[in-house]
Structure 1
Amino acid sequence: MATILNLPDEIHLLIAEHLETKTVYSLIRICRSFYSSYIPCLWSNLTVQPAKGYTILEPVVRSHAHLIEGIYFSPYLAQDYYTIDFPRLRSLYLETFFGDKCTSCYSKGLLVQKLDFVRRHPFIKNLVYQHGDTVPREFWEVIVTEWTHLVVFNFSGIVKDDAQDAFWRVCDRVQTLRLSGVDLLLKNTSILSTLPFQRLRTLAVSKYSFINKFPYRAWPLQLLEQVKRSPILKRLEWSVSDTPFPVQRFQETLVEEGCWPTLCQLDINDSGWTDQDGAEMLRALPSRRLTEYTRTMGGKFGPLTFNCMREMCFGHLRNLTVRKCKGFTSVMAQEVLMECVHLVTFQAPHIFVRDIATAPKPWGCLQLKRLKIHIAKEPEDEAGWEGQVFEQIGRLGQLLYLNLERISRFSAGEDVDGVRPHSMETLDLRLPCSRLKNSSGTVDGVELGGGERGGGGNGSSERGANVTCWSHLVHLRNLAFHGDRQLLGMEEALWMTEHWKDLRSITGAFRAAICSDKEDLKRLFAKHSVIHFEVPL
C-alpha cells in the first residue's frame, strides 16, 4: 500500500510549504526519507547575522551553498562569506537592523569582496541593499551589464555623483523599485530625463525626518515626472517627510496625458493633505478598479474622499488602511465592512459598538483576513449590543490577524465623532466563568467594563454572546488587544490555545494570572509555540 514516503520529493516540498519549521525539523529527525526531502526547505533561505545570535559558521554555509536560493548578509559579516559561490541564489538581502545603522562595522576591503560577489552571481532577481557603506560606481555597472534577470530593487544609502548614471540605469531595469532614505550626493540627476521606466510596476519612495536628516532636494519629484512614462505602473507609494506629494501635477498627469491606465494601488502619506486633495486624486485615476488604498501618516480623510471611494472603489477594494487621519469616522468604518465584499485587509482608528449593532445589515466582508480596529463602547450602549459585535466578528471565518488595540495617539484637531474613543471601554474578552469569579468590577484599582455589573451595563451578560463566538475563527494566527480594561487569566489562555490551533502570537496582558499562574501561562504558551507580548499599561 502506498504511503507518504512513496510520494516524490516535489510533492513533499509542496507539503512542507504548509508546515511549521519546527514540524519539518521533527520529520527530518525521525525519517531518513524525510531528511533528503526537507533539508532543501530548511536551507533555501538563510539569515547570517552574527551580532544578533544567528551565527552560522562559514564552512557550514559553504557545504550547503548549493541549496540556498535567498540569503541575508549582515553588515557584521566576515569577508570569507563573500567568497562562497551560491549556484541557485536568486535573492540577496544586504540589510541592516535599525539599531545597527549608527554602528561602524565594516571591514577594510569589504566593498571589494561585495563587488566580486555580484560578478559571480549574475542570476539574482531580488536585491535589497541597506548596508551603511557607500557603494562604488563599479558595483552598479556590474549589475547593469551582467544582471539581466533583476526584478526587485530595494535600496537605502548614499549614491555618489560619479555613480548616479549607473545607479539610475539599474532603477530603470526593474519592475519593483523601492528607495528609502537615499542620499544623492551633489545634484547630477540629468540621467533621469533619459530613462523611460518601461518595466516599472511598483514605485515606492520614502524618507522619515527622524531617521534621515539630509534633505531630499528635487530628485523624488523628477523621478515621479519620469515614471509617468511607465505604461504598466500598478502601485505607487509616497512617504517623503520633506517633499509634499504634488497632487495637482499628479492630477494633470493622469487626466491630460492619460498616463498610468493600470494604476490601482495607492499608498500616499502626506500630513498636509486635505479632504479635497484625496477626492481629486481618486477622481483622476484612469482605472476605476482601485484595489488598495493606504493613508497612515496624518492628513484629512473626510466625506469628499469617502464619497469618491464609495462611488468608484467599493466593488473592487481589497485592502484599505486609514490610520491617524482626521475625519475617518466609525460610521465610515461600518459602511466599509458592510459593502466591500472583496475586502481582505482593513485597518481603521476605531468603530463604535452601537454602529455595528444597529446597522441595517451584517458585514459583507466574509473574505477578511486582517482586521485592525479599536472597538469602543459608550456608557449608554444597550446590554445586548456587545454580544452582537462578538457574533459579527465570529462570522469572519477566514480571519488570520485580529488587532483590537488602540492606536498610540489620536490626531489632534477636528474630531468628527465628537468623542475620544481612547477614553472608552472596549470589548470584554473574558469567558463567562471568569466574569462570575470577579464581580467587583475593579482590578488594581482600575474599573472594568463587562456584563457582570448588571443588566443595564455597557456589555453583554454572561448568558449572552461573548468571546466563545470566536471559536469559529479556526485560522486565527495573531491576536492583539489593549489590556487596560481587561482581566484575562488562565481560563481564557486555555480556551484560546484549545480553539485556535494555528495561533502564533498574542499581544496583551493576562492580568488575572498572578503568582504561580504566570508560570503556568508561560508553560502553556511554550507548549503551543505561541509567542506572548505583554504590553505595559
Structure 2
Amino acid sequence: MVHPVDLPEISSHVASYLSNKSLLHCILVNRAWHYAFLPTLWSDVHFDAMNQQAVDSLARHSHFVKSLSWKSYGSQPDVQILSIDFPRLLSLHANIDKSWDDDMIDAAERLFRRHGHALQTISIFSDESGPNWMISSRSLWDIAATGCKGYSQLRSLSLDRVCFFVQDLDNESKELLKQLDSFSLNHTVLYRANSSDPVLPQWGLQGSKIRQLALTNCEHSHPSDHLQTEYQLLADCQEIQSLKWERYLRHSRVSMATDLQRGFWPFLEKLDFQGLEIGDEALAEILWTLPRPLRDLNANHTGFGPLSYRALLNLFESGEGTSIARGQNHASTLERLVLQACRGVSGPQIQSFLCSMPKLKAFSAVLLIEADVLADPRPWVCKQIRNLELNFALLALDAEIGEGYPLESVSRDIISRQKSTCFWKRLKDLSSLEEFSSGNSQNIALDMNDLIVHDNGLRYPFLLFQQGEDHVTSDRNCEWGLGTLKTWRKMRRLLLWDSAQVIRLSDAQWMVQNWPHLEEVVAYKWRGTQDGVKELFEAHGVRF
C-alpha cells in the first residue's frame, strides 16, 4: 500500500512549497524524495563563478533546466556551458562582458541555433560600455535574432546596457520584435551609425503585438535624437497595456497627450513614469486623455501635483466653482499608486486617495500628518491593500491648531479625544496588509526636518514602538498601540526606518504570536533595541 506522502502529486506540491520558501536547497530528505525534487530543483538555474565541477553537474541535469541564468567571464567553462543541450530550455538570461572572444561568440551562436525555436524569454545584460564593446554586443544581438528568426515562440526580450542598431533591423528581425508580448530596453544605446543623416532610423514595428514596453534611461548615439527615437517606438506599439518610461535627463516635451486624443494606445492601463521629468500640467493632461481607467501608476520623482491629483480623481472645476466628472474614473480601478519623491503631493491629497480608492493594493507616498486625517474624517476604503509605504506624523500637544493645517473647524476637545488614535483606527481596518513600511528610508526623498521634533513642538514621528511611560505596545487592553493591530494576521514584512523606533523583547514576542505569517522585520539598528530580540525572531524563522 502506497503511503499518501509518497504520491508524485504530493512530492511536487511539497517541492513547490519549499522552493517558494527558499528551503529546497538545504533540506535533508531520503533518496526517493531527492529524485522527486530534482525537476523543481534544476528547473531554474543560476550560475556565477563557474568551475568544471559545476559544469559537469549542470550537464548531468540539463534535461530538467527550463530557465538558465549565468554570469559570463569568457572562460573555458563558459564555452562548455554554451555547448550543453537543454531540451526543455524556455528562458535564457546572460550577463556578459568584453572578455567574450571568438570561441564564446561561436558557442553562443550554436546555442541560439539549437534552442532558438523553443525560447520564450531572452535577457541579455552587459557589464561593459564603450564603442569597442558596442560592436560585440551588436554581434551577439545579431546571433540571438538569427537563431530565433522564423519561429513564433519568443515572447519576451530584455536588453540591458546593450547597443541596439535600429537602422540594421531587417524584415525578419522586425517580425521577431512584432510578435513579442514584452520588450525592455534598459540603459541601452539606440545607435545610429550615420550621424550626418537628418532622417531618424525607422523601427518599422507598426502592427506589433507588444503589450508591455519598458524604456529605462536609454541613451542615443547622436545628441539630436533626444527622445524621438524612443517615442517613435512607442507610437509603433499601439496595443501596449503597460508602459514603463524612465529617464533622469532633461528633455523636451513630447506629444503623448495629443496622440492619446487621436486614439493612440487604446488599451493602456499601466503607466510607470518614474524619473521622467514631466511636469504637473503635462502629466495631468495625459491622465485626463487616457482611453481607459488606470490600474497602475508609478509617478515617483515626477512633477505630480494638484493638477494631476484632480485628474486622477476625476475632479474638474466648472465655471460655477463646483467639481464635475470629465475624464476616466481612475480612483475606482487603481490597484497600485506610487508617489514617492513628489514634492507636489500634500497630506490632504494622500488622505483623499486612501478614502477614494477601494481596489488599491499597493500605495507608496511620503508623509501623512495627523491634522490631515482629523480634517477629513472619512474612513479608508482601501480594504484590499497589501503593501503600504507611508510616513506618519503627529501634532505635538502644544501645537498651534490651524497654523499651516486645515484644522480651523476642528475644536480642541475633539482633537484631544481623537489624538494619537486616528492612525491606529484606520490601520486596524487594513486586515489584508502584508507589508508595512514607515520612517525615513534611504529611498525617500524627504527633508529630515519633516520627521524630527521641532523646537516649536509642531510635530514628531508616529511610532509603533515607544519608550518610557507612553510605551503601550504590549498592553492588549489599551485603546491604541500595537495590540490594536491583531487584525494584521497576513503581515509578512515590517520595515521601520526611524531611528527613534525601538523594538523591545515583549514587542517581538507579541508579533510572532499574533502575526503567524511574519517573515522579516527591518528596523533601524541602535543601542535601544533590547538583547534577545534578534534571537527570538530567528528562532521563529523571521529575518531581522
Distance verdict in 2 for CA 1:272–1:529, change over 3 Å: same
Does the CA contact (< 8 Å) of 1:241 and 1:270 recur in 2? yes
Distance verdict in 2 for CA 1:357–1:58, change over 3 Å: farther
Q: Secondary structure at the match of 2:331?
A: coil
Q: CA deviation at 1:42?
A: 1.8
Tell me which moved more, 107-116 or 346-355: 107-116
Tell me which moved more, 334-343 or 38-47: 38-47
Question: What residue in structure 2 maps to residue 442 of structure 1?
Answer: none
Question: What residue in structure 1 maps to residue 70 of structure 2?
Answer: 73
1:80-128 deviations in whole A, cap 9, x for unaligned? 22111111111111137xxxxxx86546632222222111112111111
Superposed, which structure 2 residues align to 1:273-422 within 5 Å?
Answer: 273-287=278-292, 289-299=293-303, 301-311=304-314, 312-356=329-373, 359-379=376-396, 380=399, 382=416, 384-408=418-442, 420-421=450-451
Distance 2:460 2:276 in 1: 29
Distance 2:446 2:497 in 1: 21
Tell me which moved more, 140-149 or 487-496: 140-149
Tell me which moved more, 336-345 or 69-78: 69-78
Distance verdict in 2 for CA 1:16–1:352, change over 3 Å: farther
Distance verdict in 2 for CA 1:511–1:138, change over 3 Å: closer
Distance 1:234 1:463 in 2: 48
1:194-223 deviations in whole A, cap 9, x for unaligned? 321521111111118xxx797665274234
Q: Does 1:425 align with 2:460?
A: yes
Q: Which amino acid aligns with 1:420?
A: D
Q: Does 1:195 align with 2:205?
A: yes
Residue number among 469, 479, 482 corresponding to 2:484 in the alignment: 469
Distance verdict in 2 for CA 1:403–1:320, change over 3 Å: same
Question: What residue in structure 1 maps to residue 37 of structure 2?
Answer: 38
Q: Secondary structure at the match of 1:331?
A: helix
Distance 2:295 2:60 in 1: 45
Q: Does 1:186 align with 2:195?
A: no
Distance 2:366 2:166 in 1: 46
Question: What residue in structure 2 maps to residue 90 of structure 1?
Answer: 90
Q: Does 1:222 align with 2:217?
A: no
Question: What residue in structure 1 maps to residue 112 of structure 2?
Answer: 118
Question: How many equivalent pairs are there?
Answer: 486
Q: CA deviation at 1:366?
A: 1.0
Residue number among 124, 132, 137 corresponding to 1:129 in the alignment: 124
Does the CA contact (< 8 Å) of 1:232 and 1:261 recur in 2? yes
Distance 1:216 1:171 in 2: 26
Gaps of 5+ in 2: 128-132, 315-328, 400-414, 454-458
Distance verdict in 2 for CA 1:269–1:429, change over 3 Å: closer
Distance 2:417 2:461 in 1: 14
Q: Which amino acid aligns with 1:207?
A: N
Q: Secondary structure at the match of 1:179?
A: strand
Does the CA contact (< 8 Å) of 1:357 and 1:388 recur in 2? yes
Q: CA deviation at 1:478?
A: 1.3
Question: What residue in structure 1 maps to residue 536 of structure 2?
Answer: 524
Q: Which amino acid aligns with 1:118?
A: F
Question: What residue in structure 2 maps to residue 490 of structure 1?
Answer: 505
Distance verdict in 2 for CA 1:410–1:194, change over 3 Å: closer
Question: What residue in structure 2 maps to residue 456 of structure 1?
Answer: none
Q: Which amino acid aligns with 2:261?
A: V
Q: Cα RMSD over matched residues? A: 3.4
1:284-323 deviations in whole A, cap 9, x for unaligned? 2122x21111111232x22211111112201111110011
Does the CA contact (< 8 Å) of 2:220 and 2:226 recur in 1? no
Question: What residue in structure 1 maps to residue 318 of structure 2?
Answer: none
Distance 1:462 1:56 in 2: 60
Distance verdict in 2 for CA 1:138–1:271, change over 3 Å: closer
Residue number among 523, 528, 543 corresponding to 1:508 in the alignment: 523
Does the CA contact (< 8 Å) of 2:360 and 2:382 recur in 1? yes
Distance verdict in 2 for CA 1:526–1:411, change over 3 Å: closer
Distance 1:262 1:410 in 2: 32
What TM-score comes out, normalization by structure 1 length? 0.80
Q: Does 1:232 align with 2:239?
A: yes
1:260-283 deviations in whole A, cap 9, x for unaligned? 111111111356422211111111
Does the CA contact (< 8 Å) of 1:196 and 1:229 recur in 2? yes
Does the CA contact (< 8 Å) of 1:65 and 1:87 recur in 2? yes
Gaps of 5+ in 1: 97-102, 414-418, 440-449, 453-459, 533-537
Question: What residue in structure 1 maps to residue 264 of structure 2?
Answer: 259
Q: CA deviation at 1:530?
A: 2.8
Residue number among 241, 245, 250 corresponding to 2:256 in the alignment: 250
What TM-score comes out, normalization by structure 2 length? 0.79
